[in-house]
Structure 1
Amino acid sequence: MSFDADDEILQDFLVEAGEILEQLGGQLVDLEQSSGDSDLLNAVFRGFHTIKGGASFLSLEPLVQLCHRAEDVFNALRNGERSVDAQLMDIILPVLDSLNDMFDRLKAGEYPPDADPAQLQALDALLQGDSAPAAAEPVAVSADAADDEFEAILEAAQDKPAAVADTPAATSSDEISDDEFEALLDELHGKGQFSAVPDAPEAKVEAPKPTGDMISDDEFEALLDELHGQKAAPGAKPDAPEVAAAEPAAAKPAEKAPPPEAVAEKPAAKPAAAREAAAPQGETTVRVDTKRLDDIMNLVGELVLVRNRLSTLQSTVENEHVSSAVANLDVVTADLQNAVMKTRMQPIKKVFGRFPRVVRDLARALNKEIVLEMEGEDTDLDKNLVEALADPLVHLVRNAVDHGIEMPDARETAGKSRAGTVLLKASQEGDHIELTIADDGGGMDPDKLRGIAVSKGLMDTDAAGRLSDHECYNLIFAPGFSTKEQISDISGRGVGMDVVKTRIVQLNGSVEIDSKLGEGSSLVIKVPLTLAIMPTLMVVLGEQAFALPLVNVCEIFDLDLSKTNIVDGQQVVVVRDKPLPLYYLSEWLVEGRSRADRKTNGHVVIVGVGTQRVGFVVDELLGQEEVVIKPLGKMIQGTDGLAGATITGDGNIALILDVPGLLKAYARKY
């Protein structure tokens, strides 16, 4: 069923409510661990309440039904009618999943399906107290919640009708009627009697005298100041004596200090001029379609190419003014590039936000006790990378929970705490982002990994014996390699890990793993800040220029190629006492080149993919250059070892090399 609604209103609702749903996932898991956090409980209540209001306006009844019941449940929690526990969260979290599913339908232009009757019944059972624990103490609502002033007015009108003279009695419904709302506004405008102190109907606040049919901004501001000043101070008694508030217009100081047990006196109202000076002068943010950002980034990329071209031409023109102009252009282009990149940046917490729920659900399914720690959630990276890293990180976290952390009894026997810890950390290191997924579980046994590699036919016993422990750990990224004897529907370290590594490599990133038996494992992922513009090392093979991604380049040196060695039929070069395979790129990429054309001297570029290091022999080195990746033409699209093309500073075309693809397609397996 298609959904026919005002597109602009619907899109605004999807954006706002979508952000709330993202926050609710983490808030609910945090609430389970901190059930006494009143601010968190109120935030969750407001989240469901806000979504319900927007859905009701758009006549999205399935969302209204679920949010309404969830809101009632959290209202009961706020009133102390029951407490937060794992059983309650086992009901609420699937409700959140259903709301997310409904949102996905809405984004696709479909009307959401009816709410699951079983979920509605489960929520009703929570409200009716079926199998509910003993009632907890009512959760105290923060006295300084200034951002909820107007909500407080509405709730007070509904729940405390005696506080407003002549206001119609509140009904048992959780929504205020139109007549009640109109009466409330009349009271605020005319008589101005309102009590912000629970159970103290005699406390009165005089509202500013109306000057017309509508309350002015200054009067409403003053009213809020009055209400804020009348809020209960910490430790104040519910039956506080009546306190008369000073009139906002006069802002007279109190003649006599109130007794200690009295409600705190409000500060004097600020003059209108001061309020206007302090008020923001307009919106400080604006929503921009991501396609526009992509278009701007593409234009900046073209500007970078022009900058490179002018820099090359400038070297041929001996003119001080031209050199100065090109230098200024270089600075402006770099600043513009950084500014546009920042507009595309998003905090990694958009990905991290899903992991508390993932870890919580897995821990309960596996009967494990796990604590998730997250660091560096505000680290920014390109929005495309945020989306691309989501699935690999989920897989790695699931592996850490399922295969890394031991069962509570086993941990206790080993002298550890029953609860294992999974650390998720992000940080910026230069022009790269570093992500760490670590656990304090049982770690990996390198000897066991060697045995699995031999049993699966990945290598013979002698080759496995020559592997270092670090190389053994990286065996888990080999296709089909798994340390788990029984494959579960959750994960297993090694199951699909080759896919994870491939995905990270496609992002021009790398992944390293380390482990210590009995102490835990750690995976470190490094990815560039952005995929739009890539720093490269320009080399020449024959007469054609090629670009090697700088992320893969480890070191460069000149070599007397007559002094290389042969190991198992493979030419190698010894670098710091370690033999590395040596390959002539021109024999792979230049037509007509063969071993007979090899020179006695050459430039060697050591490149790395994960823990693998090899040497590429190139004819000429041109230096570093930032390039903009352009797609390959149909004739060569999909060619092994080529990632794209770019325009060099001299105006020629250079092919961008895909180092992992090159090794997979041409290098000898070893």
Structure 2
Amino acid sequence: MFRGFHTIKGGASFLSLDAMVGLCHRAEDVFNALRNDELSVNSQLMDIMLPVLDVLNTQFDTLRGGQEPEHAEASMLLALENLLKGNAASAAPEAVTTDAADEAFDQLLESTDVAVPAAAGDGEEISEEEFDALLDQLHGEGKHSGVPGDKPAGTTADGSSAAKAPLPIPPVPAGEKISEDEFEALLDQLHGAGKPAGVPATGKAVAETTAQKTESEPAVENKPAPESKSVKESKPAPKAKTAAKESATAETTVRVDTKRLDDIMNLVGELVLVRNRMATLELTTQNEELSKVVGNLDVVTADLQAAVMKTRMQPIKKVFGRFPRVVRDLARSLKKEVSLEMQGEETDLDKNLVEALADPLVHLVRNAVDHGIESPEDRLKAGKPRAGSVILSAEQEGDHITLTIQDDGKGMDPDALREAAVIKGMMDEDAAARLEDRDCYNLIFAPGFSTKVEISDVSGRGVGMDVVKTRIEQLNGTVVIDSELGRGSIINIQVPLTLAIMPTLMVMLEDQIFALPLASVNEIFHLDLTRTNVVDGQLVVVVRDKALPLFYLRRWLVAGANYEELPKEGHVVVVSIGAQRVGFVVDQLIGQEEVVIKPLGALLHGMKGLAGATITGDGRISLILDIPGLMQSYVRRI
């Protein structure tokens, strides 16, 4: 952290961004005290430093927008100073005081005011030669220009200037990495003396460069430029090989625009369609040579698909990284004590899914802290530890990722959920009484549903959980809740590794082909449909002593289907919608097939129940069904 703030301060000073320099300097003092064991990390320090980080991020955003960053509030700078003053009061007398640090910082600003305008004061950029010279110093070719002293260098051209001139840094042979001290000296040169050495030889000190601008004789007699040249001439051959080796290693990583990866993934998807078409032709021709070619194509396509998917993968820790701050801030605002444990942060997920899951996960974690975890007093009365626990984990299971949010709070009361559903008019008392506990937990995903009496800026309005479920379902995922009163709750989210290619179950309804996402399919069985019953107006069939809601897909998806002439036997595909299971009656099962999801046209875009379309192995167009959306549309028609 100290090095990070120091680097930002150096760059900001070079660009004359005084607002960022002042904030980073005071934050840097705090981190310097921390690394010297003069301060210890506690809640008071974190309460001060986290808002500092927020302000710094805001300044970066302002800078990206092409505007000058605003100064941090005086109260924030004062809090940083008080943090150091409190440390200085308890430290030894020889410790550096805040006043001394401020004096040194003022001298640094004076030095910057003198030297920076030559480089960037009039909106001029550093020249290409100066930039190359700086790179040479970074890579160890020659000597560094030196570290600026306490007073501005180059203010005079007489002998006194030589006393104030910076001392040269010892030469670094080519091919060797510079040390931390040399790197810090180089940063100090950037923001303490303005322009770096302007000649590609890069050996002269900053004070000498400034003296040349004032048309005076150079103050430094021992010019490091010749030394740099001699070092360069006498460099040993093995180190040159080492440098070339390090350079080759550094070039093994290439930054690629994500759009290019998306284009490659789309081409792989087209290749999958061609493979499916070839496999269908191979079955019809019964040609041995063609079978070998199709087999090889299948292997290569699968390997290529896996390789491209890996290039799009990112660790889930990119999302997890924001949760410690979210939990800490929310717990303090609610006067609760909460510890957060994160597991499986290195689990890889498609980049698009990582970004799409960020907001739903933030809402679920905030919900666990607000609704789940009790106050410290209530936890002590219940015989629990004073601090609550929230566990956030990620794990890959086959071609899916399972995310779990678990808390050891008060859990959910199914009776309270039933009562709230009746009060809000979602169902009558008889229907609520028949609900199983797991079905009651899923009521929280209904729009406008909330059991909280008081509405706060955190929760209580009943908006959010329905958005979470909708967003996860849009990712072809599922969310399931399990809870135990007094013990806590567990929320399981399951999403596919990628959205580009989807394994499906192809079914036939009359003469039309439809695709069901294979991840939602639980089981398939052949059934005598005359054994069905009607409960509360809903057709059900008893499977393993449990009533299963039954729906004829043909009634909704096939235009002009005859409702009276329904088959007496049929295939039933049992699918999961969260914790609920339903059965879809289909006319024929075709089999499993990997498909590429194509967006629907303008006329069908946004239609409930349809996730997209694809081309089957025999060249026909098949609609991909969105099961949650399908149920919403179909149930409303019943």
TM range (shorter): 0.7 to 0.9
CA contact (8 A) 2:376 2:387 kept: yes
Partner of 1:7: none
CA contact (8 A) 2:505 2:517 kept: yes
Q: 2:406 aligns with which of 433, 438, 444?
A: 438
Instruction: Flag the 1:52–1:273 CA change in 2: closer, same or farther, 3 A.
Output: closer
Query: Deviations for 1:246-267, whole angstroms, at most 9, x for unmatched residues?
Result: xxx9xxxxxxxxxxxxxxxxxx
**Paired AA for residue 9 in structure 2:** K
SS in 2 for 1:398: helix
The equivalent of 2:473 in structure 1 is 505
**Equivalent residue number for residue 316 of structure 1:** 284
CA 1:218–1:601: 2 relative to 1, 3 Å: farther
Alignment of 1:520-531 (within 5 A): 520-531=488-499
* Whole-angstrom distance in 2 between the partners of 1:155 and 1:426: 50
Residue pair 2:575, 2:583 contacting (<8 A) in 1 also:
yes
Aligned pairs for 1:297-446 (under 5 A) are 297-446=265-414
Distance 2:269 2:594 in 1: 10
SS in 1 for 2:494: strand
What's the Cα RMSD here? 3.5
- The amino acid that maps onto 1:488 is S
Distance 1:467-1:160 versus aligned 2 partners, 3 A rule? same
Between the two proteins, the alignment pairs up a number of residues equal to 541
2 CA distance for matches of 1:211 and 1:94? 48
Q: Could you tell me which residue of structure 1 aligns to residue 630 of structure 2?
A: 662
Give 2:584's match in structure 1, choosing from 616, 622, 629.
Answer: 616
Residue 309 of structure 1 aligns to a residue in which SS? Answer: helix
How far 1:101 sits from its partner (Å)? 2.7
* Cα 1:105/1:547, change in 2 over 3 Å: farther
CA 1:657–1:416: 2 relative to 1, 3 Å: same
Q: CA deviation at 1:543?
A: 1.3
Q: Which moved more, 1:117-126 or 1:294-303?
A: 117-126
Matches within 5 A, 1:26-105: 44-105=1-62
Partner of 1:231: none
Which residue does 1:175 correspond to in 2?
188
Q: Give the alignment of 1:592-631 within 5 angstroms.
A: 592-631=560-599
Number of the residue aligned with 1:213? 229
Instruction: Tell me by how many angstroms 1:160 deviates.
Output: 12
**AA of the residue aligned to 1:213:** K
Q: How far apart are 1:569 and its partner, in Å? A: 2.1
Query: Over residues 364-391 of structure 1, what are the superposed CA-to-partner deviations in whole Å (9 max), with x where a residue is unaligned?
Result: 1111111110000000000000000000
Question: Contact 1:582–1:617 at 8 Å: present in 2 too?
Answer: yes
Return the offset for 1:67.
Answer: 2.4
TM-score, scaled relative to structure 2: 0.77
Correspondence for 2:248: 281
Cα deviation 1:251-291 (Å, max 9, x = unaligned):
xxxxxxxxxxxxxxxxxxx9648856974633221110111
Does structure 1 residue 543 correspond to structure 2 residue 511?
yes
The amino acid of 2:470's aligned partner reads T
Question: What secondary structure does 1:596 align onto?
Answer: coil
Q: Output the amino acid matched with 1:410.
A: D
Report the CA distance between 1:526 and its aligned residue: 0.4
The 8 Å contact of residues 514 and 521 in structure 1, kept in 2 or not, is answered as yes
**Residue deviations 1:62-111 (CA, integer Å, cap 9, x gap):** 4334323322332233345544332232222122122223333455x432
Q: Deviations over 1:580-616 (max 9, x none)?
A: 1111111101111132131111111111110121111
Candidates 406, 427, 443, aligned match of 1:475: 443
Alpha-carbon deviations, 1:441-479, whole Å to 9, x = none? Answer: 111122222222222222222222222222222221122
- The alpha-carbon distance between structure 1 residues 290 and 449, as it changes in their structure 2 partners (threshold 3 A), is same
Inter-partner Cα distance in structure 2 for 1:71 and 1:155: 24
Secondary structure, counterpart of 1:526 in structure 2 = strand
Paired residue for 1:459?
A: 427
1:321 and 1:348 map into 2 onto residues whose CA distance is 44
CA–CA distance in structure 1, aligned partners of residues 457 and 469 of structure 2: 20
C-alpha distance in structure 1 between counterparts of 2:610 and 2:429, whole Å? 35
Contact 2:407 2:488 in 1 (8 A): yes
Cα deviation for residue 302 of structure 1 reads 0.8
CA distance in 2, matches of 1:327, 1:292: 29
**Shift in alpha-carbon separation, 1:416–1:154, aligned structure 2, 3 A:** farther
What CA distance in whole angstroms lies between the structure 1 residues aligned with 2:327 and 2:233?
Answer: 48
Unaligned runs of 5+ in 1: 1-43, 140-147, 189-209, 220-248, 250-269
Cα deviations across residues 514-555 of structure 1 (Å, max 9, x unaligned)?
111211111110000001111111111121111111122111
What is the identity, as a one-letter code, of the residue corresponding to 1:584? Y
The residue that corresponds to 1:40 in the other structure is none
The equivalent residue for 1:11 is: none
Say which SS state the counterpart of residue 661 (structure 1) adopts: helix
Whether the aligned pair in 1 keeps the contact of 2:48 and 2:76 (CA below 8 Å) is no
Q: Does the 8 Å contact 1:396/1:437 carry over to 2?
A: yes
Structure 2 CA distance, aligned partners of 1:408 and 1:470? 28
Contact 1:168 1:180 survives alignment (8 Å): no
Q: Secondary structure at the match of 2:573?
A: strand
For 1:415 and 1:498, the matched residues in 2 are separated by 33
- For 2:366 and 2:17, the matched residues in 1 are separated by 35
SS at match of 1:639: coil
What letter is aligned with 2:313?
M
Match for 1:644: what amino acid? Answer: G
Q: 1:96 to 1:187 in 2, by over 3 A?
A: same
* CA drift at 1:433: 0.2
- Cα separation, 1, equivalents of 2:87 and 2:95: 19
1:236-247 residue pairs with structure 2 within 5 A? none
Cα 1:544–1:90 change in 2 (3 A) is same
Q: Is the 8 A contact 2:439 2:580 kept in 1?
A: no
Q: Is the 8 A contact 2:149 2:164 kept in 1?
A: no
Q: In the alignment, does 2:447 pair up with 1:491?
A: no
- In structure 2, do the counterparts of structure 1 residues 70 and 482 end up closer, same or farther at CA, with 3 Å as the change threshold? same
Please give the TM-score of this superposition, normalised by the length of structure 1.
0.74
SS in 1 for 2:285: coil
Name the SS of the counterpart of 1:574 in structure 2: strand
Equivalent residue, structure 2, for 1:115: 71
Which stretch shows the higher mean deviation, 553-562 or 384-393? 553-562
The 1:385–1:466 alpha-carbon spacing in structure 2 relative to 1, beyond 3 Å, is same
- Further displaced range: 453-462 or 389-398: 453-462
Partner secondary structure for residue 393 of structure 2: strand
- Assess if the C-alpha contact under 8 Å between 1:126 and 1:132 holds in 2: no
